[in-house]
Amino acid sequence: MTTTNQPTLREQVEDFLFREAALLDDWRLDDWVDLFTEDARYIVPTTDLPEGDPKRDLVFIDDDITRLRARAVRLNSRHAHREYPWSRTRRFISNVRVTETDNGELAVNSNVLVYRFRAGEGAPYVGSIEYILRRDGDDLKIAYRRAVLDLEALSWHGAVSIIF
Amino acid sequence: MDIKDLIIDDRERGVFRVHRSSMTSDDLFQRERELIFSRCWIYLGHESEVENPGDYRRRTVAGRPLFFARGRDGQVRVFLNSCPHRGALICRRDAGNTEVLQCFYHAWSFNTNGELIGVPDQEAYGPNFDRDELGLKQPPRVESYRGFYFVNFNPYAEDLVTYLAGAREYLDLIMDQSEEGMRMVAGSNKYTMKANWKLLVENSLDGYHLVPTHQTYLDYISGLGSDDSGQTAASRIVGKARALGNGHCVIESPVRNGRPIAHWHPLFGEEAREPIAQVRQRLVDKYGEERTFRMADTSRNLIIYPNLVINDIMAITVRYFEPLAPDNMEVTAWHLVPREESESMLATRLDSFLTFLGPGGFATPDDVEALESCQIGFRATETEWSDISRGMLRPAKSTDELQMRGFWRQWHANMQGHSHTNVQDAPVEEAEAALALADD
């Protein structure tokens, strides 16, 4: 009877992902960047090469922590014109799968639907996100975040101007 | 409005204006399809995209579904992607490798040379059925220069090299940077802008917008510690603009933040310093100091009229845009790299691309916003004219608009039914000729 109130591993991860989604929808980007480890990587492959490797192939985004921070600075400024004023977004995270790796990290996959509304138009970004999460005390940190779009092209938004 | 009145080109007063209906009218859009996209050489793809026999890629070019393939004989051929039988698409994947392409509708089969090699129940057609007549159709003209393939739907068009005019030298300047030839890396940026395609021509060659529009990029770069951070951004952005004939234009500027060929920058990391110095030495040995200076220490944004842009800047991007409607276009951008580059230099180059370029970069989303913003602004139809006069009365710099005027003059001539040969006789702004980069 001792385990009923203990969240499962998946529930812990889901709580973390839901918190991340809320930070992004609320445009609290500095807090969002704080979720990452210093050696983290954030990758978005192109729509025509979902398996793209930034060392070899063209991708949309390949940020280390320095560029990730710069991305947050940019989006927080009034000069990221595609996102000034900010779009409204709403993120839906589902189908979360968690595997614990041999070195104690968590390999996570989730389905993601982000609706983005701006300038009289609204359309979704749809895809999946692969994470490697690292334990940090009682909390988790993102060491790797690879967001793969299912879209065939950036036909609706013209860019990946938000964090997907 | 009469087409000849769509542009005001007053060289005495230094006034150049374009009527905005050129970017909103359905009639003019249809006219562009006929008089520009069915008569000019239009970019299709690069030979490295079909490296091996049997490789194919499909693409929409000038509104037509096409694909190109490398045959078993090693030749690259371009085909209209429509079954000669009843019309279905023959090539239904974006890329692949095959020996036979079979139409799924009635199972007619073609080899990668385009020959009809299989017709189920062929006897039904009688004894005069001629397979040779019913091979895959090719565009009237296909030619390539330095691996870049272009198509032309006008059988009487001048040859590609003549058409390229002064742009040819710039293609050489880019392709000569590699020892073993250039190739497109895998992966492309495919995005749509709800804007007229000519706005992207202007934007791709617009040195004036860099500082105001892309401030976050410039801040990011100088925050990383650039070797010229002592200067203000504005003072760094100088260079020259040139009209190259036939509507092709270029802006060329001293390098701002480093080039993989062959100008080191702190962004590239210490470990890249030596390899880049070696590349530079190779260029000097082969081409001499002057040409090496142009290759390594200057950047260029080149438009091959009407809709191909090659930006040889912090990386080399090849950008093609397909007009879909007066207010809509699909953009595809690729990354061109030297074949011989080491894994680590390639990684550096790929990283350099992403700082500025692409729909997830620190600049391109801002351009998408700017162009769509213009297109919405055009709905205020009482503001009839766009002004493109900048630098008209001085030797034009890269922050001026001479290069856009070069494009628009060609567009205007084509829309009035003139061929390229006619336009070459038209007066062009020559002031830039005397302007050396060092003078800026």
Q: Which CATH number fits domain B42-145: 2.60.40.10, 3.40.50.300, 2.102.10.10, 1.10.490.10?
A: 2.102.10.10
Residues B292-351 pLDDT 10s: 999 999 999 999 999 999 999 989 999 999 999 999 999 999 999 999 999 999 999 999
CB proximity B203 to A under 8 Å? no
CB–CB contact A48 B343 (8 Å): no
Mean pLDDT of B422-431: 44
- Cα end-to-end span (Å), chain B: 41
Task: Using an 8 Å CB-CB cutoff, list chain A residues near B369.
Answer: 81-82, 161
- Please report, for chain B, the start and end positions of each structural domain, with discontinuous segments joined by +: 42-145, 165-439
Q: Are B207 and B402 in contact (CB under 8 A)?
A: no
CB proximity A161 to B under 8 Å? yes
Residue in A closest to B357 by C-alpha: A60
Cα-Cα-Cα-Cα dihedral sign, residues B325, B327, B330, B336 = positive
Of A60, A74, A119, the CB nearest to B362: A74
Task: Examine the pLDDT at A71 and tell me if it is beyond 80.
Answer: yes
CB proximity B188 to A under 8 Å? yes
| A-B contacts at Cβ under 8 angstroms | 126
Task: Using an 8 Å CB-CB cutoff, list chain B residues near A55.
Answer: 343, 346-347, 350
Lowest mean pLDDT: which of A61-70, B13-22, B262-271? B262-271
Q: What is the pLDDT of residue A4?
A: 64
Residues B98-154 pLDDT 10s: 999 999 999 999 999 999 999 999 999 999 999 999 999 999 999 999 999 999 999
Domain A9-149: assigned CATH number: 3.10.450.50
Q: Nearest C-alpha of chain A: how many angstroms from B259?
A: 17
Architecture of domain B165-439: Alpha-Beta Complex (3.90)
SS3 label, residue B73: coil
Q: What are phi and psi for residue B392, nearest 5 degrees?
A: -70, -25
**What share of chain B in percent tops pLDDT 90?**
80
Which of A58, A63, A154, A164 to mutate: most B Cβ within 10 Å? A58
Task: Using an 8 Å CB-CB cutoff, list chain A residues near B218.
Answer: none
Mean pLDDT of B224-240: 56
Q: Predicted ipTM?
A: 0.95
CB–CB contact B372 A159 (8 Å): no
CB proximity A51 to B under 8 Å? no
Residue in A closest to B193 by C-alpha: A158
Tell me how far apart the alpha carbons of residues B139 and B154 are, in angstroms, rounded to a whole number: 9
Residues B363-390 pLDDT 10s: 999 999 999 999 999 999 999 999 999 9
Token duo for residue A65 = 């922590």
Token duo for residue B73 = 């004989």
- Please report, for chain A, the start and end positions of each structural domain, with discontinuous segments joined by +: 9-149
Q: Are A121 and A21 in contact (CB under 8 A)?
A: no
Residues B353-366 pLDDT 10s: 998 889 999 999 99
Exposure b/e, A57-95, CB count within 10 A at least 16 = b = bbbbbbbeeebbbbbbbbbbeebbbbbeeebebebebee
Residues B16-39 pLDDT 10s: 999 999 999 999 999 999 999 999
Report pTM.
0.93
Token duo for residue A1 = 């009877």
Token duo for residue B12 = 């005495």
